[in-house]
């Protein structure tokens, strides 16, 4: 993490940041967050990230308490202050009030925290581990990007210890859902397939962009329920996330292996980068 952070309207040194020990969001993981890609000092696809955070905050019964334009500007200002024109930013809204241990006083309803840092060094080709019964799609908060992220973080930590790069999560119906921090895509012939939001997967911002980019690149696109059996008929597999963009998958467990990066994956990787360049020109 970079040495300066944004906290409730101010850019301050990380060591000076303070949260109340009785804060509801800190004790319960009650809050929402997003990870943004910073290109040329600009927060890519910020409107999409904001829309998702606002939607998830409403589901959690909390208010963001800040204006969209002001938060977007704050991301750019923090990136500039940290000399981070290329990198990533994390924006978190942490619920402050409520609970038995709340601190008395006039603290804001929600704490806003923004961090920046250099990009994660992801591998060129990913190795995934299949994890059954890892996600319950019928829960009220399925697909929400909440501060309560210990399940995914724990699975990812265990995967790294076992020599994998990420975990492919199955829901209670045995359907493919997502990775711990990425969406999953299968390629069959000239068609790109991905699980629907009903699977419990996160509505990823890069996933959302790819829903537009894939047809523009000349390929079919479908959201449909997928099972591990569908991996056997896939010619290529890739994952998407803010920090990885479009990333090839070379293997899943020891049972499935794929040409990686495959021809279509490489085409979509280029098409996504073209989309980013067009976005930067127009914003």
pLDDT in tens, 212-243: 999 999 999 999 999 999 999 999 999 999 99
Asked whether residue 50 carries a pLDDT value surpassing 80, the answer given is yes
For residue 155, what pLDDT is reported? Answer: 96
* Model pLDDT, residue 170: 98
pLDDT in tens, 144-191: 999 999 999 999 999 999 999 999 999 999 999 999 999 999 999 999
Measured CA to CA, the distance from residue 20 to residue 264 in angstroms comes to 49
What's the predicted TM-score (pTM) here? 0.94
Average pLDDT of span 245-264: 96
Helix (H) or strand (E) holding 239: strand 236-241
> To 10 degrees, what angle do helices 205-216 and 46-59 make?
130
CATH number, domain 4-117: 3.30.470.10
Which residues 6+ apart lie within 8 Å of 87 measured at CB? 38, 79, 116, 117, 118, 119
CATH class as words, domain 125-282? alpha beta
Greater model confidence, 135 or 104: 135
Reported for 146-150, long-range contacts at CB under 8 A and 24+ positions apart, including other chains, are: 146/29, 146/30, 146/31, 146/32, 146/33, 146/56, 146/60, 147/25, 147/29, 147/30, 147/31, 147/32, 147/33, 147/92, 147/94, 148/28, 148/29, 148/30, 149/29, 150/29
CB-count burial class (<10 Å; 0-12, 13-18, 19+) for 139: exposed
Q: Tell me if 44 sits within 8 A of 276, measured CB to CB.
A: yes
Look up tokens 């998830």; give the residue: 56
Close Cβ partners of 246 (under 8 Å, ≥ 6 residues apart): 206, 210, 238, 240, 265, 268, 269, 272
How far apart are alpha carbons 266 and 250 in whole angstroms? Answer: 13
pLDDT tens by residue, 66-100: 999 999 999 999 999 999 999 999 999 999 888 77
Split at pLDDT 50, 70, 90, the class of 18 is confident
- Is residue 107 very low, low, confident or very high in pLDDT (cuts 50, 70, 90)? confident
pLDDT for the residue numbered 236: 97
Q: What is the mean pLDDT of residues 2-15?
A: 96
pLDDT class for 36, splitting at 50, 70, 90? very high
Domain spans of the chain, in order of start: 4-117, 125-282
User: Residue 37: which of 246, 237, 194 has the closest Cα?
Assistant: 246
Q: Mean pLDDT in the chain?
A: 95
Is residue 257 scored above 90 in pLDDT? yes
Side-chain-facing half-sphere of 74: CA atoms under 13 Å: 22
DSSP string, 147-182: S--HHHHHHHHHHHHTT-SEEEEEETTS-EEEESSS
């Amino acid at each position: 993490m970079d040495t300066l952070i944004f906290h409730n309207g101010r850019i301050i040194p990380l060591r000076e940041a303070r949260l109340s020990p009785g804060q509801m969001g800190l004790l319960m993981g009650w809050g929402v967050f997003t990870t943004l890609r910073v290109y040329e000092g600009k927060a890519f696809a910020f409107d999409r990230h904001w829309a998702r955070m606002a939607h998830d905050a409403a589901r959690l019964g909390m208010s963001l308490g800040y204006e969209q334009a002001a938060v977007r500007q704050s991301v750019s200002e923090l990136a500039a202050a940290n000399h981070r024109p290329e990198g990533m930013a994390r924006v978190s809204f942490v619920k402050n009030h409520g609970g038995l241990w709340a601190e008395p006083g006039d603290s804001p309803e929600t704490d806003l925290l923004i961090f920046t840092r250099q990009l994660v060094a992801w591998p060129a080709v990913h190795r995934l581990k299949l994890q059954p019964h890892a996600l319950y799609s019928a829960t009220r908060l399925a697909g929400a990007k909440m501060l309560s992220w210990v399940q995914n973080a724990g699975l990812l930590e265990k995967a790294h210890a076992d020599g994998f790069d990420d975990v492919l999560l199955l829901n209670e119906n045995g359907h493919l859902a997502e990775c711990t921090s990425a969406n999953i895509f299968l390629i069959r012939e000239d068609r790109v397939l991905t699980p629907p939001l009903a699977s419990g997967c996160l509505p990823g911002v890069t996933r959302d962009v790819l829903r537009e980019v894939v047809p523009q690149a000349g390929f079919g696109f479908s959201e449909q329920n997928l099972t591990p059996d569908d991996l056997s008929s896939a010619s290529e597999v890739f994952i998407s996330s803010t920090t990885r963009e479009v990333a090839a998958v070379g293997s899943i467990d020891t049972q499935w292996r794929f040409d990686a990066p495959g021809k279509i994956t490489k085409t979509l990787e280029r098409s996504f980068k073209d989309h980013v360049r067009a976005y930067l020109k127009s914003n």
